[in-house]
Structure 1
């Protein structure tokens, strides 16, 4: 599934990475921007501290302190309940300690002198109910001041920018998917063509890269169809032209006077006819792509048909298969494959007997006594390969069996154990 949708998964992965990266960048930028905003507005505490320090040094009235603060849109909080709420519920944005220096001119017996007084102060910026407050505290007193101008940091602009970029990336992803849709349809059409639908059309009006590939596939399909039609016509004519002289030769053979010559020519023409039939079968197998001809049959019925086709005595074939075992196959081809295995097993066995059974893995097996194969199985399933030239073989039997099994999604395997050759439809 992953391999079939590799491009889509890659695009989705790229989108995810982009969105995660953008989100991380915006989050860091949001924190930095917010901190810079807080640092910027916190500088106002220096004005408040200076006004409050002068108030303490001159011991001015409360009214004068309020008037000086009002110039900067700052107001003292006098309500004790409100100050309590600020202490308990307000969010601390920033806190900083500093020293207040007071220089006074004093006089004593020695004369005039300067007295420096250092007072430790602490400034805290608070946020409560979407308002900014300043808390100035000294060892002897404290004051809560409300700022009527400053507003807490707002993330609306940041959220708007992030949303716009998010939508742009998402829209780009939708556009990519829209461009990939013709590629998905093209893949399905190619699969249909591979399954035997020779009339499928790849032609498209799109002028992009995928459209160019589709139109090129259409041209290639037409060339392939032309080649296949020519091949089919050639093979049919060839089979017809070969069968005609074989039939005439068979009839002419019966007119020979000598029995030895008649038998020899009859054997030759019979072998030629068998070869033509095997060629026709191989051509059908290699071009078969329609699985609709596959139906479910009882395996014993298929084997029974193969024994009849092989024209051997039933005593020479032992069938050890339950009657309820079924296979979904092309009956004619599968029967031919089993018939070839029966011929092969009887022909090369020591006792002229073959046994057909189902092994523990549920696979169809053909067992016969004899010597082990001298070469690997792959050697024998090549066309025109035969172990013993004296045998009546053209070397197409196992090649045809292997080709038929591939059509059925199986392979031909071989085992040798205790003097038994075991061929398996695995």
Structure 2
């Protein structure tokens, strides 16, 4: 089904309008020509008959002349006779009275004496052939122009289909590449852009792989060296640091997949406690800290992509602990929303500013800033068609992930020590 904004739809509408208009104008022109020819024949007949009357031509002479001019005698019906007799005064004595009557496009000549009532009708037929020929030729030209125009525009439809098919994978358009018109130029320019995008994609992939390799290699070596340490406390601390760095690299790789639309989202139902347990493994916090996370909804069921949702919650909890005045984060729910909140001052700027990558609060140069944290949260949730909003109520900063909970179970507050 064509959209009303489609070029082909508009061309069809214009053609239908032009076709109808041409046909209507042609028929109107034929009617005018028909009336005009009838008037000319009527005037000519009146002049000739009037001239014959002036020379006192007999009724037989007039009949002979009319027959020579293509008139033929008809037998009038009573209604026609009555109409003539009522509209015109009859002949006196034996004189000849001539009436010329026009009905529609027919001309009748009535010859009357006291003894005769003779009616002749014009035998000349209107020549329709030449007008029909002109109309048919005009319509054929219109149709040929329409077909030619549609043929020139049809490549746009095929190009649109190929563009729709190449959403998942960049590939060249093969249709109309040999055409030398503007559409062919458009296809060639588009294919050039596709080649450039392929080159950029290859360069980006190579660069990221190189960076990942160069970063993970020293991390792996560091882990090996850490295992050689005798101090178990120092060994665990360094091990956590290297593990944290490794997780950060994996997060960046995941965000790159999201940004390039290469990540396949797999949503399923997950217990919140499983997400929190995974977050505990990913976070690097001071073990001496107690009661870092207060959770009111341990058994709530969430429908989301496990990796992406865990990544978003991890960053929210990490930022919540980092910027809380009491180093605590509270996890709660309301209806279908998950709430992660901490006690602290409200954000200095609009939340949309913090959604930008590598954000730094210029009003507070000493702050650590959110860096990629909030940006990662926003993109990880949007990839799952989820949304996060920010509010500040009663001294608490609330980050609310909307419509992620499919079933809620009440739990008494639990404290998780990290």
Same fold (TM over 0.5): yes
Q: Decide whether the 8 Å contact of 1:405 with 1:412 is kept in 2.
A: yes
TM-superposed CA distance for 1:375, in Å, is 1.1
Q: Give the match for residue 14 of structure 2.
A: 14
Moved more, 166-175 or 385-394: 385-394
> What per-residue deviation string (whole Å, max 9, x for no partner) do you get for residues 135-163 of structure 1?
5599x999663335311x35443333223
> What per-residue deviation string (whole Å, max 9, x for no partner) do you get for residues 158-206 of structure 1?
333223322322232223222323222222222333x232355546552
Q: Decide whether the 8 Å contact of 1:318 with 1:355 is kept in 2.
A: yes
> What per-residue deviation string (whole Å, max 9, x for no partner) do you get for residues 107-162 of structure 1?
xxxxxxxxxxxx9x8743125xxx83325599x999663335311x3544333322
In 2, Cα distance between the equivalents of 1:253 and 1:390?
Answer: 33
In 2, Cα distance between the equivalents of 1:72 and 1:267?
Answer: 119
In 2, Cα distance between the equivalents of 1:125 and 1:379?
Answer: 88
Q: Establish whether residue 46 from structure 1 lines up as the match of residue 46 from structure 2.
A: yes
Q: What's the C-alpha RMSD, in Å, of the aligned pairs?
A: 4.6
What aligned pairs does 1:257-268 form with structure 2 within 5 A after superposition? none
C-alpha spacing 1:286/1:214, structure 2 compared with 1 (3 Å): same
Q: Decide whether the 8 Å contact of 2:355 with 2:378 is kept in 1.
A: yes
Q: Establish whether residue 70 from structure 1 lines up as the match of residue 41 from structure 2.
A: no
TM-superposed CA distance for 1:304, in Å, is 4.6
C-alpha spacing 1:125/1:37, structure 2 compared with 1 (3 Å): same
Moved more, 384-393 or 36-45: 384-393
Q: Establish whether residue 29 from structure 1 lines up as the match of residue 29 from structure 2.
A: yes
Q: Establish whether residue 182 from structure 1 lines up as the match of residue 185 from structure 2.
A: no
Q: Give the match for residue 297 of structure 1.
A: 268
In 2, Cα distance between the equivalents of 1:274 and 1:145?
Answer: 112
Q: 1:206 aligns with which of 178, 195, 198?
A: 178
Q: Give the match for residue 332 of structure 2.
A: 355
Q: 2:121 aligns with which of 144, 147, 157?
A: 147
> What per-residue deviation string (whole Å, max 9, x for no partner) do you get for residues 215-264 of structure 1?
33333323322321222122112111101212323444566688997787
What aligned pairs does 1:11-410 form with structure 2 within 5 A after superposition? 11-47=11-47, 49-50=49-50, 53=53, 60=58, 62-77=59-74, 79-80=75-76, 82=77, 84=79, 123-126=100-103, 132-135=106-109, 145-147=119-121, 149-151=123-125, 153-193=126-166, 195-199=167-171, 201-202=173-174, 204-209=176-181, 210-253=183-226, 269-289=242-262, 293-298=264-269, 300-301=270-271, 303-311=272-280, 316-319=294-297, 323=301, 326=303, 330-345=305-320, 347-348=322-323, 351-359=328-336, 364-370=337-343, 371-385=345-359, 395-409=371-385
C-alpha spacing 1:87/1:208, structure 2 compared with 1 (3 Å): farther
Q: Decide whether the 8 Å contact of 1:19 with 1:166 is kept in 2.
A: yes
| Uncovered stretches (5+) of structure 2, i.e. residues with no partner | 89-96, 284-290, 404-418
> What per-residue deviation string (whole Å, max 9, x for no partner) do you get for residues 386-406 of structure 1?
679999876222111222334
| Uncovered stretches (5+) of structure 1, i.e. residues with no partner | 89-96, 99-118
In 2, Cα distance between the equivalents of 1:261 and 1:407?
Answer: 39
Residue 161 of structure 2: SS of its match in structure 1? helix
C-alpha spacing 1:295/1:172, structure 2 compared with 1 (3 Å): farther
C-alpha spacing 1:10/1:32, structure 2 compared with 1 (3 Å): same
TM-superposed CA distance for 1:37, in Å, is 1.8
TM-superposed CA distance for 1:30, in Å, is 2.5
C-alpha spacing 1:247/1:296, structure 2 compared with 1 (3 Å): closer
Bigger relative contact order, structure 1 or 2 (CA pairs below 8 A, ≥6 apart)? 2
Q: Decide whether the 8 Å contact of 1:51 with 1:69 is kept in 2.
A: no
Q: How many residues align?
A: 380
In 2, Cα distance between the equivalents of 1:246 and 1:166?
Answer: 79
In 2, Cα distance between the equivalents of 1:374 and 1:86?
Answer: 105
In 1, Cα distance between the equivalents of 2:213 and 2:82?
Answer: 106
TM-superposed CA distance for 1:374, in Å, is 1.7
Q: Decide whether the 8 Å contact of 2:100 with 2:107 is kept in 1.
A: no
In 1, Cα distance between the equivalents of 2:115 and 2:331?
Answer: 112
In 1, Cα distance between the equivalents of 2:101 and 2:206?
Answer: 96
C-alpha spacing 1:186/1:258, structure 2 compared with 1 (3 Å): same
Moved more, 240-249 or 403-412: 403-412
What TM-score do you get using the length of structure 1 for normalisation?
0.70
In 2, Cα distance between the equivalents of 1:189 and 1:357?
Answer: 46
